[in-house]
Homo-oligomer: A and B are copies of this chain.
Amino acid sequence: MEVRSGSLKTGLPARAIADELTEALYQAPGVRIERIVSTGQVTPEGQWYDQESDEFVLVVTGAARLLIEGEAQERELASGDWLLLPAHCRHRVTWTETDKPTVWLAMHFASTGPA
């Protein structure tokens, strides 16, 4: 495998676009790293993310709000803020900035126990 490189802050849309952009940066057994770019998208009403694996998520630029099931208040996320969401911790993104892109770095860690 060769050295790969990039910037999380390039190739961003100049204005709000219809869908989130998701780009895989690295994938290996048990690990997937993605850059996600939001421009106002949220998780549709009544839907939750419910993932098989732990997720580490970082807001690189921009801002977002995220609700974790069972919590009374949304969490406010700004640049540099990270969350470690255990597998099956249901959560929804309730707000992302609309006037500039919000860049997320998301890492998913599949179960790596013995087969």
- Which A residues fall within an 8 A CB radius of B? 1-10, 25-26, 28-31, 33, 54, 56, 58, 60-61, 68, 75, 78-86, 89, 103, 105, 107, 109, 112-115
Contact = CB atoms under 8 A, between A and B. Distances in A.
Given A26-B56, A54-B28, A109-B28, A86 B33 contact: no
A7 B70 CA distance: 22
Given A29-B112, A56-B25, A109-B31, A86 B5 contact: no
A7 B82 contact: yes
A6 B112 contact: no
B8 A80 contact: yes
Please indicate which of the listed interface residues A9, A29, A82, A113 has the most CB atoms of chain B within 10 Å of its own CB.
Answer: A82
A85 B34 CA distance: 16
Nearest to A84: B4
Contacts of A33: 56, 107
